[in-house]
Amino acid sequence: MEVLVTEKGGFCFGVKRAVNMAFEASCGDHGPVHTLGPLIHNPQVVERLDGKGVRAVSALEEIDRGMVILRSHGVSSPQVIEEAKARGLHVVDATCPFVTNAQRYAKQLVEEGYSVVMVGNRHHPEAQSILGHAGANILVTENFEEIRQMLNRFPKKRLGILSQTTQTFAKFSEIVSKALEICIEVKVFNTICYATEENQTETMAMADRTDAMVVVGGRNSANTTHLADICRERGIPTYHIEAVSEILPEMFVGVQRVGVTAGASTPDWIISEVVERLRQM
Ligand code: SF4
């Protein structure tokens, strides 16, 4: 079986930056090191960090001293940072600059008086952090009917749209096109990050020339899940796995060529293990 591997898969710029910051912090002298929530959406990396003494906590109340690292998706509101400082904690902000940009654009649209929609998943931590920073009600959805219902309440129909950084371009442009059909004014910020876009484009092309795709990454990772969706939409068998142990020979019966892609929070060592196992088959 031939095994193809995407070049753009694996740690993106923002995740690499956050993980490096955390490993560096584990060697520092600021006392116990914590992350507010898992640093990235990959359980194996979070476990490795834990082994280095970097503990993920779910609330500031669980920390009495030392350092707190704010994860790549950002925190739920600027008040969290103020509270951490007020508690005397050393704060390291590992929020990805692309997420910071999306927070800024969302705030701008709200201040300019648009009804604002973010194309994404409202339960995702990044969406929560953008909502928290924009300081107002923003509709987060991937369902255009919800947008239509919201707009029905506003006669001027001035709509501001941005996207979760890991959104697929196809979904984002579909929502923008539909909005143009019913709005008087639409202001759009394309806040999909370039790492996500490049990875999706390469994955799509690979799915078109393979018999099956393996997508490696955390099941709680939005961008990994989107990659798996992209592959399934191309109509080929797609396996979203977190670790090499999930690979079974029966998945690849009759497969001549398999493609491997990975989410932005998947470390190289896990991708290599998966590729190695597939090559042995
Ligand atoms: S996927 Fe993009 S937005 Fe998210 S952490 Fe990576 S570079 Fe930043």
Distance, CA 16 to ligand 1 centroid (Å)? 9
Q: For residue 210, which of 191, 230, 224 has the smallest C-alpha distance?
A: 230
Q: Which atom of ligand 1 is nearest to the CA of 194?
A: 2
For the stretch 75-81, contacts whose Cβ atoms lie closer than 8 Å and that sit 24 or more positions apart, written own/partner, are 75/36, 75/129, 75/132, 76/125, 76/128, 76/129, 76/131, 76/132, 77/129, 77/132, 77/133, 78/132, 78/133, 80/36, 80/132
Q: Say yes or no: CB of residue 10 within 6 Å of ligand 1.
A: no
Choosing from 62, 126, 142, 145, which is the catalytic residue?
Answer: 126
pLDDT of residue 97: 94
Q: What domains lie within the chain, and their CATH numbers?
A: 2-10+194-280 (3.40.1010.20), 13-97 (3.40.50.11270), 98-188 (3.40.1010.20)
pLDDT tens string for the chain (281 positions)?
999 999 999 999 999 999 999 999 999 888 999 999 999 888 889 999 999 999 999 999 999 999 999 999 888 888 999 999 999 999 999 999 999 999 999 999 999 999 999 999 998 889 999 999 887 689 999 999 999 999 988 877 899 999 999 898 999 999 999 999 999 999 999 999 989 889 999 999 999 999 999 999 999 888 899 999 999 999 999 999 999 999 999 999 999 999 999 999 999 999 999 999 999 98
pLDDT of residue 157: 87
Distance, CA 182 to ligand 1 centroid (Å)? 32
Q: For residue 261, which of 232, 281, 16 has the smallest C-alpha distance?
A: 232
pLDDT of residue 281: 87
Residue 126 annotated as catalytic? yes
Q: Say yes or no: CB of residue 117 within 6 Å of ligand 1.
A: no
Tokens representing 8? 């753009």
Nearest residue (CA) to ligand 1, atom 5 = 14
Say if CB 227 and CB 203 are below 8 A apart: yes
Say if CB 133 and CB 115 are below 8 A apart: no
Return the exposure string of 106-131: e unless at least 16 CB atoms fall within 10 Å of the residue's CB, then b.
bbbbbeeebbbbbbbbeebbbbbbbb
Distance, CA 30 to ligand 1 centroid (Å)? 27
Nearest residue (CA) to ligand 1, atom 7 = 14
The sign one gets for the Cα dihedral 19, 125, 95, 27 is: negative
Say if CB 262 and CB 251 are below 8 A apart: no
pLDDT of residue 156: 76
* Among 193, 203, 220, 265, residue to substitute to test ligand 1 (most atoms within 8 Å of Cβ): 193
How far from 153 is each of 15, 101, 146, CA to CA, in Å? Answer: 40, 29, 12
* Among 8, 11, 12, residue to substitute to test ligand 1 (most atoms within 8 Å of Cβ): 12
Distance, CA 149 to ligand 1 centroid (Å)? 31
Q: Say yes or no: CB of residue 99 within 6 Å of ligand 1.
A: yes
* Among 165, 167, 199, residue to substitute to test ligand 1 (most atoms within 8 Å of Cβ): 165
Q: What is the 8-class DSSP label of residue 158?
A: E
pTM above 0.75, yes or no: yes
